[in-house]
């Protein structure tokens, strides 16, 4: 089986992927068999989008299978046919894709470009010693925003235009409040208090790991606590469907035309109804100075960012996101360097916060 890694992946990440591959071994024929089960369409397979491809068994046997090492949550494979057709097959040993597909359909329903999901298996398929949920989806050809920016495939004016279009799409995504006619509840009304509780719970681990001294932790925690009231007052004012993994690698561009065009926003596995500023905070975390350019602000709606209350909400959301990222991998010794960087970023954000 072929393997395809991100261009900028480091050796530590490759080692982690290698462990995942060892724990979840797949043969080419395993993936072909899952593909056969899905396109057969028999229960408990669920059809999510019209599938108009006439595929013969000989076509399936001749496919090239590539394992895409781009996610720790999903096992992702590219299935490439000799006639040029390409599909993505995803396997997950922990959860079904049904709720994710509902969200994808809702996003497509408001006119935002997403990869189509064709079939999913709502029960589970046994492969070796593990059971997996499966989904077959459209393959989106193109370059992601991160890649295009890193390798100079887009100019500053291109980037500004893309961000302007992204602002319009974010506005549409965040406007969604229903799934299949069901009004959704906010899952994180107390997102900031939850982050503080998590931070306090991991106090001993943070100190023991050498990320911070007791004095440093206590000083930062006191400053964080002063923002609690502001979070409770303003935190419930901006609720909608949030991508929750809004990363430059998840915005796929077409660079073939005269100007770059957004082909799709992908990776909806973490999406939920919560504080929409999480998306801006995550984009800020990954892109830094490219975050709040005028084009993004204006296309999304300048009034969203113009008030002092909104400025505070952006700040506390960024802080809550950093706390969650720090604590998520706190017990992974291989992430020590990353944790130290996040701690310094957290201290900086707190020192700059308006409170």
CATH code of the domain containing 76: 3.30.200
Q: Where does a domain end: 138, 154, 169?
A: 138
In the predicted model, what is the mean pLDDT of the chain? Answer: 85
Residues 76, 221 within the same domain: no
Residues 157, 98 within the same domain: no
pLDDT for res 289: 58
Residues 197, 329 within the same domain: yes
Residues 101, 183 within the same domain: no
Residues 214, 314 within the same domain: yes
Residues 182, 133 within the same domain: no
pTM for the whole thing? 0.78
pLDDT band with cut points at 50, 70 and 90 for residue 313: confident
Mind listing the pLDDT tens digit for each residue in 91-143? Answer: 998 889 999 999 999 999 999 999 999 999 989 899 988 999 999 999 999 99
Residues 234, 183 within the same domain: yes
Residues 169, 57 within the same domain: no
Residues 60, 147 within the same domain: no
pLDDT band with cut points at 50, 70 and 90 for residue 83: very high
pLDDT surpassing 90 at residue 265: yes
Owning domain of residue 305: 143-352
pLDDT band with cut points at 50, 70 and 90 for residue 293: low
Mind listing the pLDDT tens digit for each residue in 196-209? Answer: 999 999 999 999 98
Residues 119, 203 within the same domain: no
pLDDT band with cut points at 50, 70 and 90 for residue 148: very high
Lowest mean pLDDT among 8-22, 242-256, 267-281, 330-344: 330-344
pLDDT surpassing 60 at residue 281: yes
Domain count, the chain: 2
pLDDT band with cut points at 50, 70 and 90 for residue 236: low
pLDDT for res 354: 65
Residues 308, 323 within the same domain: yes
Domain with 243 in it: what CATH number? 3.90.1200.10
pLDDT surpassing 70 at residue 269: yes
pLDDT band with cut points at 50, 70 and 90 for residue 81: very high
For residue 80, CA distances in Å to 63, 83, 87, 140, 141 come to 5, 8, 7, 13, 12
- Across the range 60-76, mean pLDDT stands at 89
Residues 105, 164 within the same domain: no
Q: Where does a domain end: 109, 138, 167?
A: 138
Q: Where does a domain end: 82, 110, 138?
A: 138
- Across the range 158-186, mean pLDDT stands at 84
pLDDT band with cut points at 50, 70 and 90 for residue 214: very high
d(CA 284, CA 282): 5
């Amino acid at each position: 089986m072929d393997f395809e890694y991100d261009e900028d992946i480091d050796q530590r990440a490759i080692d982690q992927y290698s462990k995942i591959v060892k724990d979840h071994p797949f043969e080419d024929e395993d993936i072909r068999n899952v593909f056969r089960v899905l396109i057969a369409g028999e229960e408990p397979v669920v059809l999510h989008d019209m599938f108009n491809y006439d595929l013969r068994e000989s076509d399936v046997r001749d496919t090239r299978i590539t394992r895409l090492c781009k996610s720790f949550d999903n096992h992702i494979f590219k299935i490439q046919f000799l006639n040029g057709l390409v599909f993505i097959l995803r396997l997950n040993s922990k959860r079904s894709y049904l709720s994710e597909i509902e969200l994808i359909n809702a996003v497509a329903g408001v006119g935002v470009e997403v990869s189509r999901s064709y079939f999913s298996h709502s029960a589970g398929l046994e492969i070796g010693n593990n059971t997996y949920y499966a989904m077959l989806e459209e393959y989106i050809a193109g370059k992601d925003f991160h890649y295009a920016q890193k390798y100079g495939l887009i100019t500053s004016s291109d980037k500004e235009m893309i961000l302007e279009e992204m602002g319009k799409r974010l506005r549409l995504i965040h406007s969604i409040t229903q799934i299949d006619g069901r009004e959704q509840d906010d899952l994180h009304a107390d997102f900031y208090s939850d982050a503080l509780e998590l931070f306090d719970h991991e106090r001993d681990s943070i100190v023991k790991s050498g990320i911070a001294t007791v004095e440093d932790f206590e000083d930062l925690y006191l400053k964080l606590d002063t923002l609690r009231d502001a979070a409770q007052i303003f935190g419930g004012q901006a609720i909608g469907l949030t991508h929750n993994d809004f990363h430059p690698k998840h915005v796929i561009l077409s660079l073939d035309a005269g100007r770059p065009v957004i082909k799709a926003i992908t990776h909806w596995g973490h999406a939920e109804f919560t504080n929409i500023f999480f998306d801006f905070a995550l984009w800020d975390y990954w892109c830094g100075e490219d975050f709040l350019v005028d084009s993004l602000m204006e296309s999304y709606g300048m009034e969203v960012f113009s008030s002092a209350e909104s400025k505070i909400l952006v700040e506390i959301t960024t802080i809550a996101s950093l706390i969650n990222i720090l604590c998520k991998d706190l017990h992974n010794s291989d992430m020590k360097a990353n944790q130290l960087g996040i701690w310094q970023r957290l201290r900086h954000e707190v020192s700059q916060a308006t409170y």
